[in-house]
Amino acid sequence: MVQTESLNMNSLIAPCGMNCGICMAYLRKKNICPGCRGSDKDKSVSRSKCKIKNCDKSTTEFCFDCEEFPCKKLNHLDKRYRTKYRMSMIENLITINNSGIRKFLENENRKWTCLSCGGTICAHKGICYNCGKIYYSVNPNHRP
């Protein structure tokens, strides 16, 4: 059972280093996104046509294995996420590369678990999707 959960969590880490398990598209109640590595069948165009996920320069599981790491596209995404959501895809990838996926997932679990109820904190909204506790506010003019 634990091994299956671990495999499912691994599949929620996108090639760019995003933890899809803390994404609002994955956490919402309707039209749930299966994560970047999941089927594109019911995903929005922006998610299914992602230039990083569909990069033709990399045949690796994660961007850190690419000769161009970090590329212009990843740097742009990382800057936006650092500014608006207090997280870094590049730091995530460096952690995965240096410490392994298991250690990364342990850190993510600690970082994004609500201290009040144990639910998941959404990286895009800064709130726990279970109890609604606010952890940080994001730019109100930005609509992901």
DSSP string, 7-47: HHHHTTB-TTS-BGGGSHHHHSSSS----TTS-STTS-HHH
Q: Which residue has the higher pLDDT, 2 or 79?
A: 79
Digit-coded pLDDT (tens) for 3-21: 334 435 678 999 999 999 9
Digit-coded pLDDT (tens) for 47-85: 667 787 778 776 678 999 888 899 999 999 999 999 888
Q: 2: pLDDT confidence band, cut at 50, 70 and 90? A: very low
Digit-coded pLDDT (tens) for 74-114: 999 999 999 888 899 999 999 999 999 999 999 999 999 99
Please check whether residue 122 is in contact with residue 113, taking contact to mean a CB–CB distance below 8 angstroms: no
Beta bridge partners of 121: 128
Is 0.95 topped by the overall pTM? no
User: What is residue 74's predicted lDDT score, i.e. its pLDDT?
Assistant: 93
